C-alpha cells in the first residue's frame, strides 16, 4: 500500500495533468471552431474553395505572428499556400494577394469588384474625411480637389522651399561629427517638408520637434488592434491625432482668412482651398484638420523609408555615359556648370547648387533610374487594403463578398518574373536598353494603380530626386556599420536598428 503522503502527491499530479490536458483540448477546440466560423462564410453559390491558410487564434488571429515575424510571415505562408492565401490580422479576416495579374484585377476592379478599406485602427485614427478612407463619388470629388495641389504648376512652386529644406537638413548631417541615423533623419526631413512645403507653416524649431514626436506616436499606432482601451495602441493613436488637430486648428483658420483676401498661392493648402472653391465645395474645419494630418502622413509614408535608403547609395552610381558619348556625372553637367571654383577646382560655395526646376530634374535620366529602383527595392507602402463588393475569383479561389483583401506591392516586386535578379539593387534595369518593367504593367506598382493610384506620386519622386541631387552635389558618405542593416517590413518598412551613416562635405572649406 502507498503511504498517504505519496498518494496525495500522485493525486495532485494527476489533477494538474488533467487540468493541463483539458485546457489544451479546450484551446484546440476553440481554435477549430474559430477556423470553422470563417469557413462557413464562404459564398455557397460559388463552387470555388476559399484560399488556403490559417485564421490563427480567436480574436487576435495571426496578428502577433505578423508583427513579430515581419516579412518572413508573408514569405513563409506564400511558399506554403501560394500567391493567394487567407489569414486573420488586426481583427479582420484577410486574403493576401501577390502577383501582377492578381493585382491588376484588384486595382482595375475598384468600385465594381472591390472598394478601399484600410484596417479599422487606421480609419479611426486618420478620420472619415480623408482621401484614403473615402469611396465612390466622395473619393472622386476629393481627387478632383487634390489634382490642383499636385499639378505641374503647383509642383514647380514647391521646389524652391523643398530645396531649401533639403539643403538645411543635409548641412546638419555633414556638421555632425558622429554617425547619423539616416532613417530617423529621413523621418525628420519628410515631416519638415510636409509642414513647410505642403502646409506652409513657419514654426519654431522646438515646436517642430514636439509635433514630429506626436506625429511619430500616431504613425507607430496606425496599425493596431481596434481596441479602444487605456494604454492600447488605438487610444495612443487617437490621442496623438487630437493633439495634432488642436495645433492645426488655429493655423488653418488664419490660412482660410488670408486665402479669402489673397489669391496668391503659397503652399499645397492654398491650392486645395482654391480648388475646392472652384468646384463649388466648402470644406469644414474638421475636414481640413484631417486633410492636414493626411498630407503629413502621405509625405511621410511615401518617402521617409526611401529617403533613408537612397541616401546610403554610392555617389559613384550616377556616373553614366551621356547621349553625346562623353562620360560624366549628370548632376555636375546639368546643375554645377555655373558655380565658381577655386584654383584647386573645388566649388567656392559648399551649399548653393543652382536652383532646381522640373525641367532640370526631368533631364537626370540615370537619377530617375536610381529612384525607380529604390521604389522597386523598398516600396514605401507595402500594399493596399480593399473589401470585396461581390464574390470573385483569383488564382482558382473564391474571394467572398465582404472579406478584406490586401494586395502586396513588395512581394510582387520581389517575385515578378520580368525583373532579372530581383534581389540585386540594379538601376540599369530601368534604363533604355532594358526597361524591364515595360513588358508587364502591374509588375511594378510602387504607388498602386487604377483610380486609387497615389495622387502625390510625382511629388514623392521629386523629393527623392532633389535629395539625390543635393547629396551628390555637396557631400560624401560612408556606412558606419560593417553591413547594411536588416530591414523590417511590418507594419512599415524600416531598418531594425537604424541606418547609421557618416556624412561630410566632398570639398574643403
Q: How many CB atoms lie under 10 A from the CB of residue 15?
A: 10
3-state secondary structure of 79: helix
Give the C-alpha separation, 396 to 409, whole Å. 21
Reference 288, options 249, 318, 331, 260; nearest CA is: 249
261, 228 in Cβ contact below 8 A?
Answer: no
Burial class of residue 26 in the structure, from the number of CB atoms within 10 Å of its CB (0-12 exposed, 13-18 middle, 19+ buried): exposed
3-state secondary structure of 479: strand
Q: Between helices 152-175 and 182-193, what is the axis angle to 10°?
A: 140
Annotated binding-site residue? 454: yes
CA distances 206 to 181, 209, 274, 359, Å, are 20, 5, 31, 36
Grid coordinates belonging to 176: 555632425
Reference 396, options 60, 102, 28; nearest CA is: 102
Omega before 99 within 30 of 0, i.e. cis: no
C-alpha of 381 from chain center? 3
C-alpha of 141 from chain center? 24
92-97/404-408 β-pairing: parallel
> Mind giving me the DSSP string for 193-240?
HIIIIIS-----HHHHHHHHHHHHHHHHTSSS-S---TT-HHHHHHHH
Helices assigned H by DSSP within 311-425: 330-335, 358-362, 365-377, 409-415
Q: How many residues does the chain have?
A: 509
376, 413 in Cβ contact below 8 A?
Answer: yes
Reference 96, options 88, 104, 277; nearest CA is: 88
Give the C-alpha separation, 255 to 314, whole Å. 42
Give the C-alpha separation, 93 to 412, whole Å. 21
Q: How many CB atoms lie under 10 A from the CB of residue 507?
A: 17
Q: How far apart are the first and last CA of the chain?
A: 95
For the stretch 217-221, contacts whose Cβ atoms lie closer than 8 Å and that sit 24 or more positions apart, written own/partner, are 218/125, 218/244, 218/293, 218/297, 219/297, 219/300, 219/301, 219/492, 221/121, 221/125
Q: List residues forming the annotated binding site.
A: 454
Q: List residues forming the annotated binding site for heme.
A: 454
Amino acid at each position: 500500500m502507498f503511504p498517504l503522503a505519496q498518494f496525495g502527491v500522485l493525486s495532485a499530479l494527476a489533477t494538474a495533468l488533467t487540468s493541463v490536458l483539458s485546457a489544451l483540448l479546450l484551446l484546440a477546440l476553440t481554435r477549430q471552431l474559430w477556423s470553422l466560423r470563417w469557413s462557413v462564410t464562404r459564398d455557397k453559390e460559388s463552387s470555388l474553395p476559399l484560399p488556403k491558410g490559417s485564421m490563427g487564434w480567436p480574436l487576435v488571429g495571426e496578428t502577433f505572428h505578423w508583427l513579430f515575424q515581419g516579412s518572413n510571415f508573408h514569405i513563409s505562408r506564400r511558399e506554403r499556400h501560394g500567391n493567394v492565401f487567407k489569414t486573420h490580422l488586426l481583427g479582420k479576416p484577410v486574403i493576401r494577394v501577390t502577383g501582377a495579374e492578381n493585382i491588376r484585377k484588384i486595382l482595375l476592379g475598384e468600385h465594381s469588384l472591390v472598394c478601399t478599406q484600410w484596417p479599422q485602427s487606421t480609419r479611426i485614427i486618420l478620420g472619415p474625411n480623408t482621401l484614403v478612407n473615402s469611396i465612390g463619388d466622395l473619393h472622386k470629388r476629393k481627387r478632383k480637389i487634390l489634382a490642383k495641389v499636385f499639378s505641374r504648376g503647383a509642383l514647380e512652386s514647391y521646389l524652391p522651399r523643398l530645396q531649401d529644406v533639403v539643403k538645411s537638413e543635409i548641412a546638419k548631417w555633414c556638421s555632425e561629427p558622429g554617425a547619423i541615423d539616416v532613417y530617423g533623419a529621413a523621418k525628420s526631413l519628410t515631416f519638415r517638408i510636409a509642414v513647410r512645403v505642403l502646409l506652409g507653416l513657419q514654426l519654431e524649431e522646438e515646436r517642430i520637434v514636439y509635433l514630429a514626436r506626436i506625429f511619430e506616436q500616431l504613425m507607430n499606432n496606425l496599425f493596431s488592434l481596434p481596441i479602444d482601451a487605456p494604454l492600447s495602441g488605438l487610444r495612443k493613436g487617437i490621442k496623438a491625432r487630437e493633439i495634432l488637430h488642436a495645433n492645426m486648428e488655429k493655423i488653418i483658420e488664419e490660412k482660410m482668412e488670408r486665402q479669402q483676401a489673397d489669391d496668391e498661392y503659397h503652399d499645397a493648402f492654398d491650392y486645395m482651398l482654391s480648388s475646392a472653391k472652384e468646384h463649388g465645395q466648402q470644406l469644414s474645419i474638421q475636414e481640413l484638420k484631417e486633410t492636414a494630418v493626411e498630407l503629413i502622413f502621405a509625405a511621410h509614408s511615401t518617402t521617409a523609408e526611401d529617403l533613408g535608403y537612397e541616401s546610403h547609395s554610392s555617389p559613384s552610381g550616377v556616373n553614366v555615359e551621356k547621349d553625346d558619348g562623353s562620360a560624366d556625372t549628370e548632376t555636375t553637367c546639368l546643375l554645377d556648370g555655373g558655380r565658381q571654383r577655386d584654383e584647386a577646382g573645388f566649388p567656392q560655395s559648399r551649399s548653393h547648387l543652382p536652383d532646381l526646376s522640373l525641367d532640370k530634374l526631368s533631364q537626370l535620366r540615370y537619377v530617375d533610374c536610381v529612384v525607380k529602383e529604390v521604389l522597386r527595392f523598398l516600396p514605401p507602402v507595402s500594399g493596399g487594403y480593399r473589401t470585396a463588393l461581390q464574390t470573385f475569383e483569383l488564382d482558382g479561389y473564391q474571394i467572398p463578398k465582404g472579406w478584406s483583401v490586401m494586395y502586396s506591392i513588395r512581394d510582387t516586386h520581389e517575385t515578378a518574373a520580368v525583373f532579372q535578379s530581383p534581389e540585386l539593387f540594379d538601376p540599369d534595369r530601368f534604363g533604355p536598353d532594358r526597361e524591364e518593367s515595360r513588358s508587364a504593367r502591374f509588375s511594378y506598382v510602387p504607388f498602386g494603380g487604377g483610380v486609387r493610384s497615389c495622387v502625390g506620386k510625382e511629388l514623392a519622386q521629386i523629393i527623392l530626386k532633389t535629395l539625390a541631387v543635393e547629396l551628390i552635389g555637396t557631400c560624401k558618405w560612408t556606412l558606419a556599420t560593417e553591413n547594411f542593416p536588416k530591414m523590417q517590413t511590418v507594419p512599415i518598412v524600416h531598418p531594425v536598428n537604424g541606418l547609421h551613416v557618416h556624412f561630410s562635405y566632398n570639398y574643403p572649406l
